[in-house]
């Protein structure tokens, strides 16, 4: 268990990405604050956390691993957590949030709301791609970065606030097809998956599908499958006593050394560190 925060931030005029690995927060003097209008993924999840809202009221909160959380117009203070956490928080500028909300016809919800526990793999894929950018493992151009930021807020505003989804990136996979594909991947992570098979789920040619999927999520189809398998393996390490070799084999990796390197490159941790509760 690590005992010091590891925080990496990437900031520019249109927003900020923060990647945080935090030890348990047991005293208010070490509280963390979620920025207004932010969207976040809590990779490890939390049980029995305590947050303080803008009104000053404190409430208990459970967060499922990998779920999407949002902050409304006021910051939210996390004053107590009982376990180590890994969080990626994406916060667009007020101007960008307002622009996306206006285009989707929900200007009143530009600052989102204090919501947690939303399961949405489209949002997860975008945040995970921005996570890789924030830790320097997979660069993005400035245009691609801002496009993904806008798409993330469009997904949130359409999915939780009634926004009329407007695809901002020409050629991107539409939400209905994307939902079918990501649900299919999630249901078959331990089975063989092919580009042709995923394209068939989307009812598109393989060439068109590959380009449209990446335009929507920031990840090529094979990168998304790998990211979800690594996340599956990470959660299995935290929740079971099975060896890393057994877990790797369950998702089709017979070369354990290769999978270990891939795992560390993507998560920043060794399997043993994940098992220890980091």
pLDDT given at position 167: 53
Are 117 and 17 members of one domain? yes
Rounded Cα distance between 182 and 122, Å, is 8
pLDDT given at position 197: 97
Strand-pair partners of 17: 10, 90
Rounded Cα distance between 272 and 266, Å, is 15
Return all residues near 220 (Cβ < 8 A) that are at least 6 apart.
Answer: 210, 213, 214
- Cβ–Cβ under 8 Å, residues 161 and 106: yes
Torsion angle of C-alpha atoms 14, 16, 136, 189, degrees rounded to 10? -100
Are 76 and 196 members of one domain? no
Are 145 and 259 members of one domain? no
In terms of C-beta density within 10 A (0-12 exposed, 13-18 middle, 19 or more buried), how is residue 149 classed? Answer: buried
pLDDT given at position 146: 93
The model's pTM:
0.88
Report the SS3 class of residue 244.
helix
Joined together, the tokens standing for residue 38 give: 């932010």
Q: Is residue 166 a part of any domain in this protein?
A: no
Q: Is residue 170 a part of any domain in this protein?
A: no
| Domain tally, the chain | 3
76-80 and 85-92 as β-strands: parallel, antiparallel, unpaired?
Answer: unpaired
pLDDT given at position 195: 96
Are 35 and 109 members of one domain? yes
In terms of C-beta density within 10 A (0-12 exposed, 13-18 middle, 19 or more buried), how is residue 63 classed? Answer: buried
pLDDT given at position 29: 55
Are 179 and 201 members of one domain? yes
Are 57 and 151 members of one domain? yes
Which of 187, 213, 185 has its CA nearest to residue 197? 185
Are 142 and 265 members of one domain? no
pLDDT given at position 164: 85
Of all residues in the chain, what percent are helix, strand and coil, respectively (each to 5)?
45, 20, 35
Q: Is residue 64 a part of any domain in this protein?
A: yes
pLDDT given at position 30: 60
Structural domain of 200 = 175-218
pLDDT given at position 136: 78
277 DSSP assignment: T
- pLDDT tens sequence for the chain (278 residues): 456 778 899 999 999 999 998 888 776 556 688 889 999 999 988 888 999 988 899 999 999 999 999 999 999 998 888 888 899 999 999 999 999 999 999 999 999 999 999 999 999 999 999 998 888 778 889 998 999 999 999 999 999 999 987 654 567 888 889 999 999 999 999 999 999 999 999 999 999 999 999 988 989 999 999 999 999 999 999 888 899 999 999 999 989 888 888 888 888 888 888 887 65
Are 111 and 238 members of one domain? no
**Residue located via tokens 């990647």:** 19
């Amino acid at each position: 268990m690590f005992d010091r925060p590891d925080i990496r931030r990437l900031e520019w005029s249109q927003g900020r990405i923060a990647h945080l690995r935090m030890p348990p927060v047991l005293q208010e003097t070490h509280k963390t604050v979620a920025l207004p209008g932010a969207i976040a993924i809590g990779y490890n999840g939390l049980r029995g956390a305590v947050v303080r809202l803008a009104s000053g009221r404190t409430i208990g909160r459970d967060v499922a691993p990998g779920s999407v959380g949002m902050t409304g117009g006021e910051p939210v203070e996390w004053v107590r957590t009982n376990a180590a956490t890994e969080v990626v928080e994406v916060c667009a500028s007020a101007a960008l949030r307002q622009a996306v909300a206006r285009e989707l016809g929900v200007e009143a919800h530009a600052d989102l709301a204090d919501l947690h526990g939303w399961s949405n793999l489209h949002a997860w894929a975008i945040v995970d791609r921005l996570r890789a950018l924030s830790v320097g493992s997979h660069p993005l151009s400035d245009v691609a970065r801002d496009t993904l930021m806008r798409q993330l807020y469009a997904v949130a505003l359409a999915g939780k606030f009634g926004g009329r989804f407007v695809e901002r990136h020409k050629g991107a996979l539409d939400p209905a097809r994307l939902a079918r594909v990501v649900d299919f991947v999630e249901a078959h992570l331990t089975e063989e998956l092919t580009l042709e098979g995923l394209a068939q789920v989307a009812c598109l040619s393989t060439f068109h599908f590959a380009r449209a999927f990446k335009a929507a999520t920031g990840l090529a189809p094979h990168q998304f499958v790998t990211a979800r398998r690594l996340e599956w393996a990470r959660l299995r390490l935290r929740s079971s006593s099975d060896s890393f070799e057994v877990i790797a084999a369950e998702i089709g990796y017979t070369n354990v050394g290769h999978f270990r390197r891939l795992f560390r490159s993507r998560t920043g941790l060794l399997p043993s560190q994940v098992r220890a509760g980091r």
